[in-house]
A and B are shown apart, each in its own frame.
Chain A
């Protein structure tokens, strides 16, 4: 089964920009992996921010955007706010099976 890798932790200043990435052990991440991005805060269920690379749900703040970057899926947070401090997970699809990334803890400081 594939291994999906994310940065363990990132720090961003309030109002700053940070990019999280999601790589696959099988090679380049493409739109055919239908990358998802989830936000999870302590004691809460995950919340989906991005699906199919770059699509947003109605509740996804405009400051979050998804893309493909250098063979990886990417989540960019522009204009970080204290409320964005959380764990972020990507999810990739592999012919029906799904694999979560290792997760990135984002600190807004």
Chain B
């Protein structure tokens, strides 16, 4: 069974850092591009970043470029999102999703909640 399980969320002060993880199982993780998406409470979905299957290419939304870093460890079947200089507006549920031609965004995690507040 394909599973994506996010972790690492929690309460952090403005200006702080947090690293999110997305543990993958049930499929060949190294074959898939991976994406991070977030959703602030009561708001819409926002695409954040993607990484290709071997980690050699990444892309970011303008809103997080320079503050967030996506990475992966294919040996550990894990995707990461390093978030620095966090702001109140980064408060959201953070989801990971997998992507491959023909299996596009076919599985999502259940999300991890990040709250940025003093």
Contact = CB atoms under 8 A, between A and B. Distances in A.
A106 to B, nearest CB: 14
Nearest to A100: B45
B95 A46 contact: yes
A contact patch SS: strand
Contacts of B45: 38, 40, 46, 89, 91, 100, 103
B61 A97 contact: yes
A38 B95 contact: no
B85 to A, nearest CB: 19
B8 to A, nearest CB: 17
Interface in A11-48: 36, 38, 40, 45-48
Interface of A: 1, 36, 38, 40, 45-48, 51-52, 55, 57, 87, 89, 91, 96-103
